[in-house]
Structure 1
Amino acid sequence: MAEPDVEVLTVGHSTLSYESFVALLRRASITAIADVRTVPYSRHSAHFNKETLCEELRLDGIAYAFLGDELGGRPKDARLFCDGVADYEKMAATSEFARGLDRVIEGTKKYHIAMMCSEHDPLDCHRCLLVGRALHEKGIIVRHILSNGLISDHSKIEARLIQMSKSSAADLFETPENRLAAAYRSRARKVAFSQRQTPDQRKDITRRNSIGNG
């Protein structure tokens, strides 16, 4: 288990301006970004492209590291998909993922880290449903920077996840741990990368990524 004061934050860049994004980081006292996007580029906001972002953050005194190979949400191994959808539980069990977590935890010895992906809402993103969950289960304090400037503890995000899940009456007799695991699994199936996205899935992804400072 981690030391009780070890903390990692997450943030989604969405369609924020670079200035607004950095303001969020400053407010949370972030000194390093761990980029967990598999593809570290933005179709609509070029200032979040890997090379541009790395240089801009450097000029602002914020370190940058790309961890998309270890902690990204789009696996390259076909065995890490279930019915064409990225399987977060299988991904969390890989040695590459474990190495990525170790890099983040080691980095906290020197930096106050925010893991960055693109989605506005943590519950739409693997940074929360996969990586944040794994760190939380290791005893790391995980908090999520929201684009309105508020910061939410991971436990509060999990409570919202439970409320969002449509549990049957039988689920009420499950243990809290099993209900939470089922809620994670259900949400991941809805938002994880799919090899064959339906038109509705593509529209939902476009909607999520177009939300600004709401």
Structure 2
Amino acid sequence: MKNTIFSVGHSNLAWEHFRSLIEAPDVGVVLDVRSTPRSRLHHFNKPELRYRLNSIGVSYLHLGDQLGGRPASGAADYETMAATAPFLDGIAQVLEIAGRCRPALMCAEHEALECHRCLLVARHLVERHGVHVVHIQRDGKIEPHEDTEDRLLAKWGGGGDLFRSRAERLAVAYRLQARKMGVGK
């Protein structure tokens, strides 16, 4: 899976389970896209997570200031956030890193469709840069982003509209999913 960017949610996983999820595809760096890199599970707090990852030969980089789903000020609106300079700088960092090693975007939610790492970051990487993104499921299965988008379309009833392109139907489904999560207009 050369030139692939992975996506993973730590959820409430035990450390060993999470470790197995990132070791199986040989992830070289975890790109933490949480706005606030803390968790009620100690092993997912930034300092402890960095230490544990480094001890197994995986690098750690916090990009939540650029790619987090909760802006420091104002309400979250993924479409607006995707056009900001900090977000675009963060995307540039991800692309540069992906040219050197195998990165995994990490956030808290295990379900990609319930997380900005899919609805904001992965969407941008796929649509604007043609990147191959895959989501690591909690059972270890790998779901290509296109399949995740198929689930999104099915969820919002966008699969049967013959008068709109797939891209148009996806734009509506992304917007509806973000609203369901309390994001956007």
TM-score range with shorter-chain normalisation?
over 0.9
Q: Does 1:145 align with 2:147?
A: no
Q: Secondary structure at the match of 1:179?
A: helix
* Partners of 2:20 and 2:134 in 1: CA distance: 17
Contact 2:78 2:183 in 1 (8 A): no
Q: 2:150 aligns with which of 159, 169, 180?
A: 159
Contact 1:73 1:193 in 2 (8 A): no
* Partners of 1:190 and 1:121 in 2: CA distance: 14
Q: 1:191 aligns with which of 158, 161, 181?
A: 181
Tell me the TM-score normalised to structure 1 length: 0.81
What are the ranges of 5 or more consecutive residues in structure 1 without an aligned counterpart? 195-214
Aligned to 1:180: 170
| One-letter amino acid of the structure 2 residue matched with residue 104 of structure 1 | V
Q: 1:20 aligns with which of 17, 20, 31?
A: 17
Shift of 1:88: 0.5
Aligned to 1:124: 114
CA deviations 1:161-199 (Å, max 9, x no partner) are: 000004598x552232211100000001112569xxxxx
Q: Secondary structure at the match of 1:147?
A: coil
Q: Secondary structure at the match of 1:134?
A: helix
Contact 1:125 1:192 in 2 (8 A): no
* Partners of 1:164 and 1:52 in 2: CA distance: 37
* Partners of 1:193 and 1:18 in 2: CA distance: 30
Q: Which has the larger radius of gyration?
A: 1
* Partners of 2:87 and 2:9 in 1: CA distance: 20
Q: Identity, % of aligned pairs?
A: 44
CA deviations 1:60-109 (Å, max 9, x no partner) are: 1100000000000001232xx3xxxx210000010110000000110112
For residues 53 and 157 of structure 1, do their structure 2 counterparts lie closer, same or farther at Cα, with a shift above 3 Å needed?
same
